[in-house]
Amino acid sequence: MTTKENVILEVKNLNVEFTTDDGIIHAVNNVSYTVERGKTLAIVGESGSGKSVSSLAIMGLLKGANSKVSGEVFFNGQELVGADPEEVRKLRGDEMAMIFQDPLSALHPYYTIGDQLAEAVLVHNDISEKEAVTKAAQMLTKVGIPSVEQRISEYPHQLSGGMRQRVMIAMALINGPELLIADEPTTALDVTVQAQILELLRELQKEFGTAIVLITHDLGVVADLADEVLVMYGGSAVEHAGVRELFYEPQMPYTWGLLASVPQISVKKEQLDPIPGSPPSLLNMPKGCVFEPRCAFKNQVANNACVDKFPDLLAVSENHEARCHLSESQRVAIRVDRKIGKV
């Protein structure tokens, strides 16, 4: 059970708005979650669901006058949204770190990987450059870079994609952060390399006890790594559950759609089942449920409730919340009918 002490990150009613020429975009709406020390929370959703933006907001990396972050983020009990940016900067890269989707563009092309790692050490530690380089070399060895003595003075473009992501991971973990936000860490990589990187993350998590917020749209990765899952759609959290609960008893039609669109080796199907339609425009959100326009089951709800009212995030079981107007018996019936989850 979650207690105050073992919570590393608590996000409460996080909102992110962008002011654009076309109007205000509500990229993240009232998202709340907690991450326990050493555990992994996966945030799942399509492009534009607000998963990356919410994590950038937590890190204090949403720059520019046109974005507005509100709500509360407690990191180790320290509130970050209203905090002095300088305080947040000191935490960044030290206590909380982030890795990104495309390691080639995320590494600076003009500096050697050794320089870039040592730089990360030197910002937060009062040690000599030589010690920092030694530490960089140790960390590179740890993430499985071969012949480090040679690689350390190479530039990102000289490494393979998997190597680069290993370098990013080394750079993020070099100061032993308590929280790592991994923004689609395997999306840009080959499938075989993906597995290696995930394995590496798992090992390092065990070793350092780092909590991970894993942003992904790959449910395979989620099943592999996550303890808890937050499903986001149109900037809102639509389902929040332990990883078993989510895969076995998904409650929300969008989650059903996500699960149905994953190819399964045991089931012979001619075609995958995609979710029809596309995510809502963030400029023009539906008035009721965000998923209503694409939902196949809205007709089963009386009084057009899906069009008029956005359902609340309600507890389904102890470790499971979802937003849906369908009654519990309706959901069970649909899941049995469509063979979704474990029935």
Partner 1 sequence: MILMLTLLSIVTFLLFNAVPTDPARLTCGKTCTPEIVAANRIRLGLDQPLLTQYLEWMKGIFVGRTYGSGTATFECSTPCLGYSFKNGEEVTTLIVNALPVTMYLALGAFTLWMVVGIFSGIVAAKHQGKWQDRTIMGVALVGYSLPVFFIGLLFLVFAIVRWNILPYPNYESPFDDPVAFFQTMLLPWVTLAILYSAYYTRLTRSQILETMGEDYIRTARAKGLPERVVFRKHAFRAGLTPIVTSAGLDLAGLLGGAVITEYIFSLPGLGRVAIGAVTDYDLPTITAAVLVAAVFVIIANLVVDILYAVVDPRVRLT
Q: Which of residues 55-74 bind partner 1 (CB under 8 A)?
A: 59, 61, 63, 65
Among 104-112, 233-241, 315-323, 331-339, which window interacts with partner 1 (CB under 8 A)?
A: 104-112
Among 23-31, 84-92, 136-144, 311-319, which window interacts with partner 1 (CB under 8 A)?
A: 84-92
Among 18-26, 36-44, 68-76, 92-100, which window interacts with partner 1 (CB under 8 A)?
A: 92-100
> Who's near 256: CB < 8 A, 6+ residues apart?
250, 334, 335, 338, 340
Residue 105 binds partner 1, judged by CB under 8 A: yes
Residue 90 binds partner 1, judged by CB under 8 A: yes
The pair of three-digit structure tokens given for residue 66, joined into one six-digit string: 């046109």
| H, E, C per residue of 21-57 | CCEEEEEEEEEEEEEECCCEEEEECCCCCCHHHHHHH
Q: Are 98 and 180 in contact (CB under 8 A)?
A: yes
DSSP character for 134? Answer: H
Determine the Cα–Cα distance for residues 162 and 145; give it in Å rounded to an integer: 10
Residue 91 binds partner 1, judged by CB under 8 A: yes
Q: Are 24 and 68 in contact (CB under 8 A)?
A: no
Determine the Cα–Cα distance for residues 127 and 299; give it in Å rounded to an integer: 64
Residue 244 binds partner 1, judged by CB under 8 A: no
Select the residue interacting with partner 1 from 8, 80, 106, 136 (CB under 8 A). 106
What type of residue is 286?
Answer: P
Select the residue interacting with partner 1 from 37, 89, 202, 309 (CB under 8 A). 89
- Closest-CA residue to 334 (of 240, 273, 257): 257
Q: Tokens 């207690």 map to which residue?
A: 3
Residue 76 binds partner 1, judged by CB under 8 A: no
Site string for partner 1, 126-165 (x = CB under 8 A): -----------------------------x-xx-------
Select the residue interacting with partner 1 from 44, 81, 98, 132 (CB under 8 A). 98
Q: Are 97 and 45 in contact (CB under 8 A)?
A: no
Q: What residues line the site for partner 1 (CB under 8 A)?
A: 59, 61, 63, 65, 89-94, 97-98, 100, 102, 105-110, 112, 119-120, 123-124, 155, 157-158, 168, 171-172
